[in-house]
Structure 1
Amino acid sequence: MKVLIVDDEKAMHLIMKRMLAKIDGVEVVGSFADTASAEAYLRGNAVDLIFIDINMPKESGMAFAQRLRASDRDVKLVFVTSHTEFALAAFDVYAYDFMVKPVVQERLHHTVRRAMAEASEGKGSAESPAIPEPQVRVNCLGRMEIRGAQGELVKWRSSKSAELCAYLVLQRGSLVSRARLIEDIFGGMPRKNAEVYLNTTAYQLRKLLEAIGMKGSLYSNANHYALNLTLAEVDLHRFEEGCREMAGVDASNLDRAIELERAYVGQLFGDLAYPWAWSEVERISQMYASFTLRLGQALLDRGDIQAAIRLLAKLTAYNELDEDTVKLYMRALALQHNREALTRLYAKFSDTLQEELGVRPSTEVTKLYGQLLTQLEAAE
């Protein structure tokens, strides 16, 4: 199967090529950063499947797809994008599938295999829209939401049904006692009222899951509840597994590490601040910080100073008082010869420490700052 990649992010070319290379029978015949180049290639070459981004600076992938369909081009289109709001519009131009970044290998493999099987059987013309297989996503990083097969946001029936789902997601399918759920989620209510409220909330969650093709996912008996998410992708679980797999970040896995970092769009459950989740929020936050520091160092080792600075600025925004982040950030700014930004960073760190904790920066941080300033002055 001949495959084309159209995405304005060069990093996505590398990521998609690496993932597609793991699928037998796939040949990536071209990768382009804009639709004009892709269209020029298509004038003289046959392609079976095109992976295309939607939001690109010169022309959107959607407009390009509309032109392809108008010209009766027989090719399958798979949109790969961070913008889930375009999911329904994608299928208006007879998209074969719609994937949300970061792309998961298993998801990609299944889509390509399905396309190959249809091609071998003479099925699946691009003239009619194909129905994508169920693909539910549970997003816990930066929010608590469920998205259906086409990226549509599922509306919670109540705030407590969202909280119950969040609680059970953290249990990874393990049984949780009714008593524990009542204490953690419905604490403060009279016992009888709490039991009724739990029953109602569980019913709401069960009906919601059934409506998106996950019937039977919420298990319960007289004393326990459990949530089976084998039919869904959970961003939290994928992020944890990725961090564990990449204990070290270097040239061999740098692109994958960048992809994983982008998946962290905020702290666990965002601003919902469930009291029973505080320890997990802190644990995941620390996991992200540790992983991102490794990634930042790897970017500096590769000489990609600007990318490292953007990453460290994001990490500093999450935790202004983390010394390890500030030290690496200062080194990156010094490598960029940005003395003004280095001075601002140190001053802001000092002021924040004084205001929040009533202390000054450690000797190690102060010493490093002085050394970096001296080096910059000597280079001027």
Structure 2
Amino acid sequence: MRVVIIDDENAMHLIMKRMLSKIDGIEIVGSFHETAAASAFMLDHDIDMIFIDVHMPKESGLEFAQRLRESGRQTKLVFVTSHKEYALSAFDVYAYDYMVKPVVQDRLRQTVQRALSECIGDSAPAAKLWFNCLGRIEIRNTENNIVKWRTSKSTELFAYLSMHKGRLVSRARLIEDMFGGMPRKNAETYLNTTAYQLRKLLEDHGLKGSLHSDGNHYALNLNEFHIDLLRFEEGCKQMVRVHHQNIEQALELEQLYVGDLFGDLAYPWAWSEIERFSQMYMLFSQRICGFLLNKGDTAEAIRLLKKQSAINELDEEMVQLLMRALAIQKNKEALIRAYEQFSVSLYVEMGISPSFEVTVLFEQLLMELDS
């Protein structure tokens, strides 16, 4: 069982590592002093159990647990703390256990062995599906083969429920958003049929029970899926700064965004989210470009900036970074072309000229190249 330790005290790292090393079947794959680093690590690593303190710098253990659950991950959480009073709050975020310091070896062993026995009892691994919704909408199985959707509406229902990250959605809201304009009775029948088709698809791939329904609500158990959208969103939130230590990870994360949410299937109920993720990508990609330009990697920066331009050619930050990159390459013709294309697009789309800041930057870069 793969575990990580999150605690801001060095002494607890040493104590937990020593105690866990005495228990067979445990592999400590990471130890962190704050939750941001742990979250970044978990983007690319499967973790079975987390030992975490409640009181942590920047983000508490309870806040971290809440984010983890909202992302759909069901990793076992064991709180290790000096405070008894947070136990109820811990179990609100589905804590696996709650230990008060100092941790006793026998108590720790009992918890770990219980988790290990559950893993053994589940020895037939649950089937996993990959759901990709950035730039397209597809499901792939563990062999990386595309799973054929039964109907377009079952595709939409899966997309809709995945956006709600495991939360219950009422039938009334689903009908309004997905079947608006249809007579109520017909809409209810259509929803029932669509839910049945989606449930059958999931069951065919070993995911029986993944689509929850209580008659009045629906929800999707995201623990059975790897979803590119959730990984991208979590990564962008955690990687506030791009630096030498995380640039490779940042570039890997950037590659997840192959296009707008749901690609060509721009569902009306998703328009605000499509825009939100587009802006999230632009800001994140521009942070990467700023770092790349500072270290002199203009070729990679220009590649990303051209991708940004295809998403939003009117973004001022993008065109300013692009002009800087072209100036660093001493490519005067490309610099002029970039500014002129931006000017034309801005006038055609909005009837305005580039801002004072963009124009001054362009003229300044031209002067530097000429000199």
TM-score norm. by structure 1 comes to: 0.66
Alignment of 1:363-378 (within 5 A): 363-378=356-371
Aligned mates of 2:328, 2:231 — CA distance in 1: 33
Q: After superposition, what is the alpha-carbon deviation per residue over 1:190-224, rounded to whole angstroms, capped at 9, x for unaligned?
A: 00000000000000000001111211010001210
Alignment of 1:258-277 (within 5 A): 258-277=251-270
Alignment of 1:107-186 (within 5 A): 134-186=127-179
Q: After superposition, what is the alpha-carbon deviation per residue over 1:280-324, rounded to whole angstroms, capped at 9, x for unaligned?
A: 000000000000000001111221111111111111111000001
Letter in 2 for 1:151: N
Query: Deviation at 1:133?
Result: 7.1
Stretches of structure 2 that go unaligned for 5 or more consecutive residues are: 1-26, 30-42, 48-123
Aligned mates of 1:286, 1:215 — CA distance in 2: 36
Alignment of 1:171-210 (within 5 A): 171-210=164-203
Aligned mates of 1:24, 1:192 — CA distance in 2: 55
Q: After superposition, what is the alpha-carbon deviation per residue over 1:154-211, rounded to whole angstroms, capped at 9, x for unaligned?
A: 1111100000000000000000000000000000100000000000000000000111
Aligned mates of 1:313, 1:298 — CA distance in 2: 16
Letter in 2 for 1:149: T
Letter in 1 for 2:333: E
CA contact (8 A) 1:267 1:281 kept: yes
Q: After superposition, what is the alpha-carbon deviation per residue over 1:108-128, rounded to whole angstroms, capped at 9, x for unaligned?
A: xxxxxxxxxxxxxxxxxxxxx
Letter in 2 for 1:281: I
Runs of 4+ in 1 over 2 A off after TM superposition: 131-135
Letter in 2 for 1:141: L
Stretches of structure 1 that go unaligned for 5 or more consecutive residues are: 1-22, 26-102, 108-130
Q: Does 1:360 align with 2:363?
A: no
Aligned mates of 1:132, 1:328 — CA distance in 2: 47
Give the structure 2 partner of residue 89 of structure 1.
none
Aligned mates of 1:185, 1:227 — CA distance in 2: 16
Query: Deviation at 1:134?
Result: 3.2
Give the structure 1 partner of residue 106 of structure 2.
none
Aligned mates of 2:250, 2:130 — CA distance in 1: 21
Letter in 1 for 2:158: C
Give the structure 2 partner of residue 69 of structure 1.
none
CA contact (8 A) 2:126 2:206 kept: no
**% of aligned pairs identical?**
60
Q: Does 1:105 align with 2:98?
A: no
Letter in 2 for 1:298: F
Letter in 1 for 2:287: R
Aligned mates of 2:292, 2:207 — CA distance in 1: 41
Query: Deviation at 1:24?
Result: 6.9
Give the structure 1 partner of residue 290 of structure 2.
297
CA contact (8 A) 1:268 1:284 kept: yes
Moved more, 134-143 or 197-206: 134-143
Give the structure 2 partner of residue 220 of structure 1.
213
Aligned mates of 1:315, 1:132 — CA distance in 2: 40
* Secondary structure at 1:296 match in 2: helix
Query: Deviation at 1:135?
Result: 3.1
Query: Deviation at 1:252?
Result: 1.3
Q: After superposition, what is the alpha-carbon deviation per residue over 1:76-116, rounded to whole angstroms, capped at 9, x for unaligned?
A: xxxxxxxxxxxxxxxxxxxxxxxxxxx93228xxxxxxxxx
Aligned mates of 1:338, 1:132 — CA distance in 2: 55
| Equivalent residue for 2:204, pick from 200, 208, 211 | 211
Give the structure 2 partner of residue 249 of structure 1.
242
CA contact (8 A) 1:132 1:149 kept: no
Aligned mates of 2:228, 2:200 — CA distance in 1: 22
Query: Deviation at 1:132?
Result: 9.0
Aligned mates of 1:320, 1:209 — CA distance in 2: 39
Query: Deviation at 1:232?
Result: 1.1
CA contact (8 A) 1:249 1:257 kept: yes
